[in-house]
Chains A and B, each alone.
Chain A
Amino acid sequence: MKKMIAGLGFALAAAAMTTGANAADTYPDRPISVMVSYGAGGATDFQARIVTMVAGNEDLLGQPIVIINKPGAGGRVGWNWLATKADNDGYTVGAYNVPHFIAQSIKGGVQYSTDSFEPIANWGSDPAVVVVGKDSEFDSMEDLVAYAKKNPGKTTMSGAGLFVGHHIAALQIEKACDCKMAYIPTKGGGAAAMKAVIAGDTLAGINNLSDAYRAREAGNVKILGVADLERNEEFLADVPTLKEAGLDVDNSSVNFRGLMVPKGTDPAVIEMLAAKVPEMFANGRVAKRMKAGGSPMKIMTRDEVLKMWSERQTYLEELLEGL
Chain B
Amino acid sequence: MEFLSYFGGVFEPVAMLLLLGGTVGGLILGATPGLSPTMAVALLIPFTFHLSPTHGLILLGAAYTSTVAGGAVSAILLRIPGAPANIATALDGHEMAKQGEGARALHLSFLASGIGGVIGVLLLIFLTPVLAQWALAFGPSHLFWMAILGVTLIGSLDSKSFVKGLLSGCIGLWLSTIGYDDMQGAPRFIFADALTGGINIIAALIGLFAIPQVMEMFAKGRNAAAIQAVTVTKHKLSASAKEIGQSGRALTVGTVVGSIIGLIPGVGGQIAGLVAYDQTRKLSPHKAKFGTGHPEGVIAAESANNAMVGPSLVPLLTLSIPGSPTAAVLLGGLLIHGIFPGGDLFERHPEVIWTFINSMLLGQILMVAFGIWIAASAAKIARAPMPIMAAAVLILAVFGSYSVQQSMGDVYVMLVLGIGMYALEKFGFSAAPLVLGLILGPIAEANFIQGSMIATATDGSLAYFFGGPLNIALVSLVVGSILYSFLSNRQVNTALKTVEAAE
Contacts and interface: CB of A to CB of B under 8 A. Distances in A.
Nearest to A217: B340
B319 A198 contact: yes
Given A53-B49, A73-B180, A188 B335 contact: no
Interface of B: 38-39, 42, 45-46, 49, 136-140, 179-187, 193, 196-198, 265-266, 315, 319-322, 325, 328-332, 335-338, 340-345, 405-407, 442, 446, 450, 453-454, 456-458
B42 A199 contact: no
A31 interface: no
A70 B409 CA distance: 12
Contacts of A192: 265-266
Contact of A182 (B198, B330, B340, B456): B456
Contacts of B336: 46, 50, 289, 292-293
Given A72-B196, A109-B186, 18 more contacts: A40-B42, A41-B329, A41-B331, A46-B336, A49-B46, A49-B332, A53-B46, A72-B198, A76-B185, A162-B185, A187-B446, A192-B266, A195-B265, A198-B319, A201-B139, A219-B344, A220-B343, A292-B337
A163 B185 contact: yes
Contacts of B446: 186-188
Contacts of B38: 40-41
19 contacts: A39-B325, A41-B322, A53-B46, A72-B197, A73-B179, A109-B187, A156-B458, A182-B453, A182-B456, A184-B454, A186-B450, A195-B265, A198-B136, A198-B319, A201-B454, A214-B340, A218-B345, A220-B343, A294-B340
Top-7 shortest CB links A-B: A218-B342, A73-B180, A41-B328, A292-B338, A72-B197, A182-B457, A187-B446
Contacts of B450: 184-187
Interface of A: 39-42, 45-46, 49-50, 53, 68-74, 76-77, 80-81, 84-85, 104, 107, 109, 153-156, 161-163, 182, 184-188, 191-192, 194-196, 198-202, 214-215, 217-220, 289, 292-294
Contacts of A80: 193, 196
B179 A199 contact: no
A121 B193 CA distance: 29
A205 to B, nearest CB: 12
A41 B196 CA distance: 21
A40 B329 contact: yes
B57 to A, nearest CB: 15
B455 to A, nearest CB: 10
A68 B457 contact: no
Nearest to B327: A41
A70 B337 CA distance: 26
A199 B136 contact: yes
B405 A220 contact: no
Given A201-B140, A293-B335, A162 B328 contact: no
